[in-house]
Amino acid sequence: MNLKQICILLLLSILSFKAIAQVHNDLNTEQIDERVASCLAKFYQPDNKALKSLCRRGCIFIKFNISTQGKVVNLVFSKDSVTIIQDALVHAIHALEQDNILMNTLRKYKKTYIKPFIYDYQLGCKFDFGGVKAATGNTLLNYYKIRDDMEHYGETIFHMLNFDGKASQAAECLLLTPSRVGAAYD
């Protein structure tokens, strides 16, 4: 073999290795979902003091895109989002940008991503049953009133495609599996 053939063979080997490595850098949908969930678990840090006054259960749909530069853009939340939760989610979703492999994969898909975020915060609920007294009469009515005030799942699901006050009939997107957080009773 002459030097020219060796150089061509070496170049082809390097290009083949680079192509294989690039394919392995793309994530499948399961890996995407795992990385997004892991990032939310790590970087979602709402104001604990504000959470202590929250009596609410529901779901927020997080919708975002990834720019060609690998940045989170068009980040919006479904109707009826709670400000303290939403503020913490903004930080957590933007933290996705730290994962270069994830960002490279997401920008190649050129999709809209929707992540359901289920929350259950009961630290601010005033469940007053008067000790071991049976839950009857006014006590039971008090419980049902608090529960009805705190439950927001149905409304959120009904408005799941209403982002920033703009309702849609359908969405072409990659729907990720839900993440769940909560805090009940101090």
The CA-based dihedral angle spanning residues 103, 82, 152, 120, taken in that order and rounded to the nearest 10 degrees = 70
Residue 184 has phi, psi (to 5 degrees) of -125, 125
Amino acid at 129: F
Domain residue extents for the chain: 27-183
**Backbone CA torsion sign across 79, 85, 88, 92:** negative
106 vs 104: CA distance, rounded Å: 6
CA atoms within 13 A on the CB side of 104: 9
Residue 87 has phi, psi (to 5 degrees) of -60, -40
Q: What is the pLDDT along the chain (186 residues), one digit of tens a residue?
A: 665 555 454 444 554 444 334 445 688 989 999 999 999 999 999 998 888 888 888 888 999 999 999 999 999 998 777 889 999 999 999 999 999 999 999 998 888 999 999 888 888 877 665 544 444 556 655 666 666 666 666 677 766 777 766 777 777 888 888 888 876 654
Residue with tokens 């060609």: 68
96 vs 109: CA distance, rounded Å: 16
* CB atoms inside a 10 Å sphere around CB 59: 21
- With b for 16 or more beta-carbon neighbours within 10 A and e for fewer, the 98-121 pattern comes to ebeebbebbbeeeebbbbbbebeb
Global pTM value = 0.74
Local structure of 6: helix, strand or coil: helix
